[in-house]
Structure 1
Amino acid sequence: MEKFRIAVRKFSPFESTLQKLWDAFCLKNNIQIEVEMIPLELHDLYEETITKEGLKNGDWDIAHLNTDWIFDAANEKAVLDLTSFINKNAPQDYPQGWHKSLLHLQQINGGTYGLPFHDGPECLIYRKDLFENQTEKENFKKQFGYELFPPKNWEQFTQIATYFNRPADNLYGCVFANYPDGHNMVFDFCLQLWTRGGSLLDNQNQININHTAAEKALDYYRTIVNTAIAVHPGSKNFGSVEAGMAFAEGQAAMSINWFGFASMCEVIGESRVKGKVDITELPHDPDHKTASLNVYWLYTIGTGSKNQQLAYDFLRFATTAESDKLLTNEGGIGCRKSTWKDAEINHVIPYYHKLEMLHENALTLPQTPIWPKVTELIDQMVLKAIETDIPSKTLLEETQNAIEKII
């Protein structure tokens, strides 16, 4: 029999979890097929599975796909509709074991195209040891005239980041992920937009970013990431993983990143901030409410897989409450409500139960076949904003025109 192949999102907690789950699954079911798990960076993962049709032609049996891509993958008939498998033999307590916000993006045209694997909406991650330090509190109040708390609005975010920026101590006010991979800067732009009451869609449900809220969002973002006295100098080359590692290594006071990078601080060996971290909701415009972004990872099965039943059996095994908890202990983020509320998990990661709160404010990106192309355009726009002096208004107009050409 040929090898069973899994395309894995490159991230050591995912890699170790999957290996452990596969070994346990084979042992339990006396399966002897050889497995090949290939860890891939974001761009390569999309390329291998969807662009090069690896899921369609049988190169991959299972792939980690994120919800930005699932609409595309389902339309391309690259991933299997799991409905008939679920109807015959549903995963443990499906669907009520999961929050509703982790079940809807993979529901496309009446089909179910994946099972939740890893999650954790965007949030503000901060060093509570710094924020709770009496001396820091006194010094901050003297300087800025208000109490030191996690920032409620973006002006406070800038002030606090500047206050904690101490290059001589290898501590920076905040860290961003500005590597242009079509993800982080797009997400950051969306968060800036939403927390100012803006939207990606107009009244006709078409993508439109050419408006005042978007201009304010882009203006603020390009300014903050270029504020050398507030921001980690590595930010320009960091993806979300690198930014998460820098925070875990104690190099930043604040970070806007996925919840998973907060919990990683409590469980990975490299962390220098165990027990010193907390999370809260994102700063927002005083006239508008906070927002979070929910993009999550799915286990999917390739339509070209010759081992579809085996693949589904493994997915059922990999999404049990026990497997979900294992992923969390390895440094990923379990998707089940049982994991969020688990006493042992909350003992190790004291803010784990806050996932429910984040999901209540979590927005999602537009589900449209053109979204992957739109993200590239937004990514280029934000990069240009950071690297040039072209006014935000002009950049937004140009990008909107380019978007309209693909619509």
Structure 2
Amino acid sequence: MEKLRIAVRKFDPFESTLKKLWDLFCLKNNIQIEAEMIPLELHDLYEETITKEGLKKGKWDIAHINTDWIFDAVNEKAVLDLTSLINQNPPKDYPEGWHQSLLNLQQINKGTYGLPFHDGPECLIFRKDLFENIIEKENFKNQFGYELHPPKTWEQFVQIAEFFNRPEENLYGCVFANYPDGHNMIFDFCLQLWTRGGSLLNDKNQIDINHSAAIEALDFYRNIVNNKKAIHPKSKSFGSVEAGLAFAEGEAAMAINWFGFASMCEVIPESKVKGKVDITELPSNPNHKTASLNVYWLYTIGIGSKQKELAYDFLRFATSPKSDKLLTNEGGIGCRKSTWNDIEINKTIPFYHKLEMLHENALTLPQTPIWPKVTGLIDQMVLKAIESDIPSEKLIAETQNKIENITH
């Protein structure tokens, strides 16, 4: 038998978990096959698996594909429909073992194209040791006239970020991920839009961002990320992983990032904020609801794989309750309800059970064949906004025109 090849999202917890799981799987089933695991950055992972047809041509047996890409992967006939394999030999507690919001996006045209592997919606991550400090609380109240607590509105978010911004102590009010990789800034823009009551879609279900909530969202975002009195100075070069690590190293009071980066603070050796972190829902504008964004990672099998049965057996093993818990202890985020409510996990990561709450408000991005192209346009728009002074109205109108050009 040849090696089993796995395209892995480059992230230490994913890499270490997969190595351990493969060894355990081989031991348990007395298998002598080697697995070759290649860690890839986001852009390269998409290129390798979908654009260059790696999954279709059998170059990869298994790949980490996130739910932003799964619609594309299915359209390109790159990933295997697992329905018949699941019917013959379902993963343990399938589907009841998972929250409904982790089962929808991989269900396309009556097929099931992946199993949930890593998750953790966007949330507000904050340093509870700073927010609970009596002296900080007193100083804050004297300055702003209200109690210091995690911000409920975006206005409070800015005030608190400026209050905790202390460059001389290498502590900044907040950290964002503004590296233009087609992901973070789009997610940030969507969260700003949704927490102001806006939507990406009009009543005809077409993508339409030319409205006042989107202009307000872009205005606020470009201001905060350029606010030198509030923000980590390296935000513009950070992807979500780097922003997460900066937070774990104690360099920011608040971050808007994936839940996984909060739990990472409790388990990775480099963390300087173990036991000092908590999470809550995102701020929103007055009279509007909070929102979260749910994009999650799947294990998928390449349609061209010559070892589909073996690949599926490994996927069943890798998504078992025990494996899900192992991923969490390594610094990833398990997807099973059993992990969220696990007593030991909640001892290590006291806010872990809050995943359920985040999922209740978690929205998803539109599933349409043009979405990957739209993300490119929104990414460019946000980048232009933070690097120029072209008015937001103009940037949004131009971007909407480009979006309409793709659809016609």
The TM-score with structure 1 as length reference comes to 1.00
Offset from partner CA, 1:142-186 (integer Å, 9 cap, x none): 111110000000000000000000000000000000000000000
Offset from partner CA, 1:260-309 (integer Å, 9 cap, x none): 00000000000000000000000001110000000000000000000000
Deviation at 1:140, TM superposition (A): 0.3
- Return the alpha-carbon distance in structure 2 between the equivalents of residues 337 and 34 of structure 1: 31
1:273 aligns with 2:267: no
Matched residue, 2:185: 185
Please give the residue correspondences for 1:125-274 in structure 2 after superposition, counting only pairs within 5 Å: 125-274=125-274
Deviation at 1:230, TM superposition (A): 0.2
Matched residue, 2:35: 35
Deviation at 1:375, TM superposition (A): 0.3
Matched residue, 2:369: 369
Deviation at 1:99, TM superposition (A): 0.1
- Return the alpha-carbon distance in structure 2 between the equivalents of residues 115 and 270 of structure 1: 30
- Return the alpha-carbon distance in structure 2 between the equivalents of residues 110 and 320 of structure 1: 24
Offset from partner CA, 1:236-282 (integer Å, 9 cap, x none): 00000000000000000000000000000000000000000000000
Matched residue, 2:347: 347
Deviation at 1:33, TM superposition (A): 1.2
Matched residue, 1:53: 53
Matched residue, 1:21: 21
Letter in 2 for 1:335: C
- Return the alpha-carbon distance in structure 2 between the equivalents of residues 198 and 322 of structure 1: 40
Offset from partner CA, 1:105-150 (integer Å, 9 cap, x none): 0000000000000000000000000000000000000111110000
Letter in 2 for 1:179: Y
Secondary structure at the residue paired with 2:20? helix
Secondary structure at the residue paired with 2:72? helix
Matched residue, 1:104: 104
Letter in 1 for 2:278: D
- Return the alpha-carbon distance in structure 2 between the equivalents of residues 227 and 155 of structure 1: 13
Letter in 1 for 2:71: F
- Return the alpha-carbon distance in structure 1 between the equivalents of residues 193 and 18 of structure 2: 36
- Return the alpha-carbon distance in structure 1 between the equivalents of residues 371 and 190 of structure 2: 13
Please give the residue correspondences for 1:65-104 in structure 2 after superposition, counting only pairs within 5 Å: 65-104=65-104
- Return the alpha-carbon distance in structure 2 between the equivalents of residues 169 and 68 of structure 1: 38
Matched residue, 1:332: 332
Secondary structure at the residue paired with 2:94? coil
Q: What do you get for the CA RMSD once the two structures are aligned?
A: 0.4
Deviation at 1:23, TM superposition (A): 0.4
1:294 aligns with 2:313: no
Letter in 2 for 1:142: N
Secondary structure at the residue paired with 1:140? helix
Secondary structure at the residue paired with 1:173? strand
- Return the alpha-carbon distance in structure 2 between the equivalents of residues 4 and 406 of structure 1: 38
Deviation at 1:17, TM superposition (A): 0.2
Offset from partner CA, 1:191-248 (integer Å, 9 cap, x none): 0000000000000000000100000000000000000010000100000000000000
Matched residue, 1:121: 121
Deviation at 1:69, TM superposition (A): 0.1
- Return the alpha-carbon distance in structure 1 between the equivalents of residues 124 and 197 of structure 2: 18
Deviation at 1:325, TM superposition (A): 0.2
- Return the alpha-carbon distance in structure 1 between the equivalents of residues 164 and 353 of structure 2: 28
- Return the alpha-carbon distance in structure 2 between the equivalents of residues 377 and 27 of structure 1: 47
Letter in 2 for 1:331: G
Offset from partner CA, 1:331-351 (integer Å, 9 cap, x none): 000000000000000000000
- Return the alpha-carbon distance in structure 1 between the equivalents of residues 394 and 7 of structure 2: 40
- Return the alpha-carbon distance in structure 2 between the equivalents of residues 32 and 57 of structure 1: 24
Secondary structure at the residue paired with 1:210? coil
- Return the alpha-carbon distance in structure 2 between the equivalents of residues 363 and 26 of structure 1: 38
Secondary structure at the residue paired with 1:253? strand
- Return the alpha-carbon distance in structure 1 between the equivalents of residues 318 and 379 of structure 2: 34
Percentage of pairs with the same residue? 82
Q: How many residues align?
A: 407
Gaps of 5+ in 1: none
Letter in 1 for 2:314: F
- Return the alpha-carbon distance in structure 1 between the equivalents of residues 62 and 147 of structure 2: 50
Deviation at 1:34, TM superposition (A): 1.7
Deviation at 1:2, TM superposition (A): 1.9
The TM-score with structure 2 as length reference comes to 1.00
Secondary structure at the residue paired with 2:373? helix
Deviation at 1:35, TM superposition (A): 1.2
Letter in 1 for 2:35: V
Secondary structure at the residue paired with 1:18? helix
Letter in 1 for 2:154: W
Secondary structure at the residue paired with 2:43? helix
Deviation at 1:3, TM superposition (A): 1.6
Deviation at 1:51, TM superposition (A): 0.2
Matched residue, 1:10: 10
Letter in 2 for 1:330: E
Secondary structure at the residue paired with 1:117? strand
Gaps of 5+ in 2: none
Structure 1 segments of 4+ aligned residues over 2 angstroms from their partners: none
Matched residue, 1:386: 386
Secondary structure at the residue paired with 1:257? strand
